[in-house]
Amino acid sequence: MKLNPLLFLFNKMKKFILYLIRWQLSTPILWLVVKQLGTSVWSTIIANLIGGAIFFWVDQFIFTSKAVEKWHLKEKGTCWECGQEGVVRRLVTAKGYDRTNHVPIFLCPICSNKKLVELKRRGISVEGF
């Protein structure tokens, strides 16, 4: 069994895509302020202050949210479960799952997929890759 690097990349890109969408949400604020106050540097500064006050909280959510899966991947490692050497991974966070402050346990793709099945059975929303 092999891991799908494209899916891993897609998983990592989710936060980036979310962040790009978030930047587009700041466009109406900039547009409204510039439309009302003109295109001066000061109106842009006011627009950015308003945007910063709103999006500080949105950005904090994007970068600390457990709703998006976070994985650690090692190209060379030893599976904690079966001892096989090679590519190993660990799920750090997912919705309803947080192992950020736990001792890192890396698993080979086979053992990791067994663990994913177990997590899904426990009701944890995890996609894997």
81 is an interface residue for Zn ion by CB under 5 A: yes
- The answer to whether 99 touches 126, Cβ cutoff 8 Å, is no
* Residues 24-43 as x/- pattern, contact with Zn ion by CB under 5 A: --------------------
- The answer to whether 87 touches 73, Cβ cutoff 8 Å, is yes
111 is an interface residue for Zn ion by CB under 5 A: yes
CA distances from 119 to 32, 44, 73, 89 (A): 46, 48, 18, 15
Q: Toward Zn ion, which CB reaches closer, 21 or 82?
A: 82
Q: Please name which of 109, 108, 91 lies closest in space to residue 100, comparing C-alpha atoms.
A: 91
88 is an interface residue for Zn ion by CB under 5 A: no
Which residues, 6 or more positions from 124, have their beta carbon under 8 angstroms from its beta carbon? 94, 95, 96, 97
- Shortest Cβ 2–Zn ion spacing (Å): 14
82 is an interface residue for Zn ion by CB under 5 A: yes
Residue among 79, 87, 91, 94 that touches Zn ion (CB under 5 A): 79
87 is an interface residue for Zn ion by CB under 5 A: no
Chain positions contacting Zn ion, by CB under 5 A? 79, 81-82, 84, 108, 111
